[in-house]
């Protein structure tokens, strides 16, 4: 029955998309996003909608989730259009909210039918990992100061920044500004002219075009490239992935260009412009070689140390240090956090990029084994450090016997998956067997956490509550839980949220320039 339902709903959804004009449907998706993001006045110029559809309530029957809208654009770009000679006499009316609602409902029914098939082979609890990878980043959002600062700190500096400028003809700072300006414009308008100008902000036309080469793709090329992306992922996976977990072309190119010379620019989900000019800069650097990856890893470690020190002033934060063991120099883990003179938290940082297979395949560990084993190496390094501390090998550092080990990732590795975490720990245990002096006591529970969750926990905690949360995170009760959720469950009422501790203008000069323009404007117009 599930097979029949899957094929029926797939055919109905494909029929709706095949009858939809690409540009009109993208405007429909833009309008639905605007409608449910507090911008209903802007949406009113594009679609007709019932008043009940103006909502940001996730539980509303009218709610259209952003990850569903993203999936629909992927399906739109890979669905062949009906030709006039096929006898089609009724097109999808993309000026009606109802058309988008119908597409979303068909997508949900298709996803449910597909789940009914593949969940016969997989534990439903394992499915939480894929669902989380699809939904949680959207729930956190991509438009925030921390996202901009963190990735500019890591990717816009040093050789990474120099490589980007040499290769693409603009700096990361300029790329970020163009993306920020375009995102702001797309808040009010469903399309922009390619001649979009921000010369008043000091950005010349050639720089805008250089940014658009990274941010936008023509409709024709988007259809070709989206189909190729899905073919490659499905071939690597061995079979087609479910509709909910197909790769999103918008992550690489959030803007689709229409008309002669790409005259009209459309961003169906403008938040993805912010993703592209922050975390997405990785895609532009990946061809630059291992030296760029190493530099990004080093800067991630420094960012982590600086962030902890800024929001947890009682702690004394140190970077990695070297010590001698049996004639060899050993590197400690990346960040050591002392409390009252003793190391209380030991952090190993991993800037490894989350691959698509690690997010959405049926068996993420097998799909991205090398990357998961790199994380397992981080666990081993924590255990080795605890062993050396217990045996008195590390001079000048007193490590608490109950010190917490944390593997901190730049991407959302191991999110909501106790099973995947157990696989990583098992892989680390194999490495630990090579050193028979690492005892069971040393192989203590480790907390796995992406940096965004770590930040979210620290800004709602003081030093004592953070230590309690990490203790809870190591217990079986909270295996697989996200760290902010553990904090809410165990600490109850949160402390007042701390402000972001750094100035964005220190890593993105355009932000400082905008702030100065605002101050000057206030002085001119008291």
What tens-digit pLDDT sequence spans the chain (526 residues)? 577 888 899 999 999 999 999 999 999 999 999 999 999 999 999 999 999 999 999 889 999 999 999 999 999 999 999 876 655 557 899 999 999 999 999 999 999 998 888 777 766 666 777 888 888 889 888 899 999 999 999 999 999 999 999 999 999 999 999 999 999 999 999 999 999 889 988 899 999 999 999 999 999 999 999 999 999 988 887 778 889 889 999 999 999 999 999 999 999 999 999 999 999 999 899 999 999 999 999 999 999 999 999 999 999 999 999 999 998 999 999 999 999 999 999 999 999 887 777 777 777 777 788 888 999 999 999 999 999 999 999 988 899 999 999 999 998 877 767 888 889 999 999 999 988 899 999 999 999 999 999 999 999 999 999 999 999 999 999 988 899 999 999 998 777 889 999 999 999 999 998 888 777 665 554 4
Q: What pLDDT, on a 0 to 100 scale, did the predictor assign at position 133?
A: 84
Same domain for 82 and 155? Answer: no
Same domain for 377 and 475? Answer: yes
Same domain for 276 and 300? Answer: no
pTM of this prediction exceeds 0.85: yes
Q: What pLDDT, on a 0 to 100 scale, did the predictor assign at position 131?
A: 82
d(CA 226, CA 229): 5
d(CA 311, CA 389): 27
Same domain for 278 and 297? Answer: no
**Residue 480 region by backbone torsions, left for phi larger than 0, else alpha for psi between -120 and 50, else beta:** left
The verdict on residue 519 lying in a domain is: no
d(CA 54, CA 44): 11
Same domain for 277 and 314? Answer: no
The verdict on residue 502 lying in a domain is: no
d(CA 303, CA 172): 18
The verdict on residue 503 lying in a domain is: no
* DSSP classification of residue 96: B
Same domain for 214 and 105? Answer: no
Same domain for 284 and 302? Answer: no
Q: What is the CA angle 417-419-421, rounded to 5?
A: 75
The verdict on residue 516 lying in a domain is: no
The verdict on residue 128 lying in a domain is: yes
Of 246, 266, 288, the residue at which a domain comes to its end is 288
Same domain for 265 and 316? Answer: no
Same domain for 263 and 348? Answer: no
Helix (H, G, I), strand (E, B) or coil at 323: strand
Same domain for 82 and 179? Answer: no
Q: What is the CA angle 28-31-37, rounded to 5?
A: 145
Domain containing 414: what range? 290-495
The verdict on residue 510 lying in a domain is: no
């Amino acid at each position: 029955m599930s097979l029949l339902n899957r094929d029926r709903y797939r055919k109905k959804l494909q029929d709706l998309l095949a009858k939809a004009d690409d540009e009109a449907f993208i405007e429909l998706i833009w309008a639905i996003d605007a409608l449910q993001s507090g911008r209903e006045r802007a949406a009113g110029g594009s679609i007709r909608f019932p008043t009940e559809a103006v909502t940001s309530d996730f539980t509303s029957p009218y709610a259209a989730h952003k990850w569903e809208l993203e999936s629909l654009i992927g399906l739109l770009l890979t669905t062949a259009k009906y030709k006039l000679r096929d006898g089609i006499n009724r097109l999808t009316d993309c000026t009606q909210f109802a058309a988008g609602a119908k597409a979303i409902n068909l997508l949900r029914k298709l996803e449910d039918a597909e789940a009914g098939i593949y969940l016969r082979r997989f534990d439903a609890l394992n499915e939480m990992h894929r669902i989380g990878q699809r939904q949680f980043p959207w729930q956190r959002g991509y438009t925030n100061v921390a996202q901009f600062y963190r990735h500019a700190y890591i990717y816009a500096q040093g050789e990474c920044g120099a490589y980007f400028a040499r290769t693409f003809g603009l700096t990361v700072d300029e790329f970020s500004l163009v993306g920020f300006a375009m995102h702001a414009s797309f808040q009010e308008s469903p399309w922009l002219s390619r001649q979009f100008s921000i010369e008043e902000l000091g950005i010349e036309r050639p720089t805008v075009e250089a940014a658009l080469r990274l941010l936008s793709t023509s409709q024709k090329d988007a259809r070709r490239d989206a189909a190729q992306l899905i073919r490659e992922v499905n071939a690597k996976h061995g079979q087609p992935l479910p509709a909910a977990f197909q790769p999103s072309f918008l992550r690489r190119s959030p803007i689709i260009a229409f008309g002669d010379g790409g005259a009209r620019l459309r961003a169906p989900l403008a938040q993805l412009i912010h993703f592209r000019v922050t975390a997405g800069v990785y895609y532009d650097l990946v061809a630059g070689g291992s030296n760029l990856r190493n530099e990004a890893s080093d800067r991630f470690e420094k960012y982590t140390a600086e962030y902890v020190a800024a929001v947890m002033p009682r702690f004394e934060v140190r970077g990695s240090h070297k010590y001698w063991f049996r004639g060899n120099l050993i590197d400690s883990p990346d960040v050591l956090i002392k409390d009252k003179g003793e190391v209380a938290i030991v952090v190993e940082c991993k800037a490894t990029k989350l691959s698509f297979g690690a997010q959405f395949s049926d068996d993420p560990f097998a799909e991205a084994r090398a990357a998961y084993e790199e994380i397992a190496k981080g666990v081993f390094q924590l255990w080795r450090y605890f062993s050396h501390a217990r045996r008195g090998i590390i001079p000048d550092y007193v490590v608490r016997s109950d010190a917490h080990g944390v593997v901190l990732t730049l991407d959302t590795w191991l999110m909501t998956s106790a099973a995947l975490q157990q696989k990583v720990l098992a892989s680390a245990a194999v490495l630990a067997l090579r050193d028979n002096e690492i005892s069971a006591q040393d192989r203590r529970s480790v907390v796995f956490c992406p940096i965004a969750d770590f930040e979210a926990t620290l800004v709602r905690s003081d030093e004592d509550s953070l230590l309690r949360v990490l203790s809870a995170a190591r217990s079986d009760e909270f295996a697989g839980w996200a760290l902010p959720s553990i904090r809410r469950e165990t600490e109850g009422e949160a402390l007042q949220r701390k402000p972001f501790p750094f100035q964005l203008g220190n890593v993105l000069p355009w932000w400082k320039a905008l702030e100065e323009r605002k101050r000057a404007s206030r002085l001119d117009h008291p």
